[in-house]
Structure 1
Amino acid sequence: MRHQRAGRKLGRNATHRLAMKRNLVRALIEHERIITTEPKAKELRPFIEHLITLAKRGIVSGDRLKLLHARRLVQSRLGPVAKAEFYDKDEMPTGDTVVQKLFDVIAPRYVDRPGGYTRIIKRAERRLGDAGKTAFIELLKEGETKKAVTQAPVAPKVEA
């Protein structure tokens, strides 16, 4: 039985799951909104939120060493850059642009927000081929909050 076993296996072994999570996180940071299956989106959410919290903690500290430590922690969680960096002979390669965007654009956006940086929106359309449930996972925009759920007005009862 799977009692007290957190996480989903997603039909993959451990290294494949980690590689898939890293690829999805890189795509989400780069595009800020991606389409994937519902279970993958639900599995991805804590992973990306932890990375954003690490980046935010490094920025808020104001200490250069803590910022550097946070940057290195995020880089270690994301793994090595798979693509080759092409650059002009007069320029130096910029390094990992995903980590740079996370620290320069995304983490400062959520400095005052205590978690909940992502949103999962279920799609009505199923995936072609296997009809798997799909969902958007997106990073919230600056200043965006949860909308309060309002109850529909109740029609008065008509007595007959």
Structure 2
Amino acid sequence: MPTPTKGPRLGGGPAHERLMLANLAASLFEHKRITTTVTKAKRLKPYAERLVTFAKRGDLSSRRRVLGLISDKGIVHELFTDIAGAVANREGGYTRITKIGNRKGDNAPMAVIELVLEPVSPKQAVVAEATKAAEKAAPAAEEAAPAAEEEVVETEAVEAAETEEAPAEEAAAEEAPAADEAK
């Protein structure tokens, strides 16, 4: 797991800090979003993301490592089946921290940490595929460039001819009802 920071711990000692992070992670996986202090949320983020990475592997060794940290088998099962499946095509950034202001009692800065279960933006996937395709097609595009320019000129000429014919047809259609009214 990530190395604990030097200096003051979240709770008392390092063992208490490990237990707190494990409990926070279990609550996060159970409820998909929790409200806590900003400091705890920042410390929980790498811990939870590492557990999700283990869950994405899905093998027995990874499951046993996670079970060593989170004792509730139901939560670990949900992590390995539901959450790992939802973030299967995401390459990191499984959690999101949103600051929500200060707590009323002691004015502690609060934050919501939640799992990012939405699918990766299709636009990003399309852009990545397009750049790969453009790199592969770069040599072929240089040879086909003159032919493409001729096609563009032809299509522009056809479009210009269509736009000139359209007003003439509209004017003829307007004159026909006027001629019927005159009779």
State whether TM-score is above 0.5.
yes
Match of 2:109 in 1: 133
C-alpha separation between the residues in 1 aligned to 2:116 and 2:12?
29
- In the alignment of these two chains, the number of paired residues is 118
C-alpha separation between the residues in 2 aligned to 1:33 and 1:11?
22
1:116 aligns with 2:108: no
Relative contact order (alpha carbons < 8 A, sep ≥ 6): 1 or 2 greater? 1
Q: Secondary structure at the match of 1:137?
A: strand
C-alpha separation between the residues in 2 aligned to 1:133 and 1:139?
20
C-alpha separation between the residues in 2 aligned to 1:18 and 1:12?
10
Q: Secondary structure at the match of 1:55?
A: helix
C-alpha separation between the residues in 1 aligned to 2:120 and 2:91?
13
1:56 aligns with 2:45: no
> Within 5 A, what are the aligned runs for 1:85-100?
96-100=73-77
Provide runs of 4+ in structure 1 moved above 2 Å: 5-8
Greater helix proportion: 2
Deviations 1:26-70 (CA, angstroms, capped at 9, x unpaired): 110000000000000000000000000011012xxxxxxxx1111
Stretches of structure 2 that go unaligned for 5 or more consecutive residues are 122-183
TM-score by length of 1: 0.68
1:23 aligns with 2:23: yes
When residues 16 and 133 of structure 1 are mapped into structure 2, their CA distance, relative to the original with a 3 A threshold, is same
Deviations 1:97-137 (CA, angstroms, capped at 9, x unpaired): 1001001100111111111000000002x113211000000
Q: Secondary structure at the match of 2:98?
A: strand
Structure 1 or 2, whichever has the larger Rg, is: 2
The CA deviation at 1:144 is 5.0
Stretches of structure 1 that go unaligned for 5 or more consecutive residues are 59-66, 82-95, 146-160
Match of 2:61 in 1: 69
* Identical columns (%): 43
RMSD (Å) for aligned C-alpha atoms: 1.9
**In the alignment, residue 39 of structure 2 is paired with which amino acid?**
P
Asked if the contact 2:86–2:118 (Cα under 8 Å) also holds between the matched residues in 1, the reply is yes
Q: Secondary structure at the match of 1:34?
A: strand
C-alpha separation between the residues in 1 aligned to 2:76 and 2:117?
18
The CA deviation at 1:142 is 2.5
The CA deviation at 1:11 is 4.5
1:107 aligns with 2:117: no
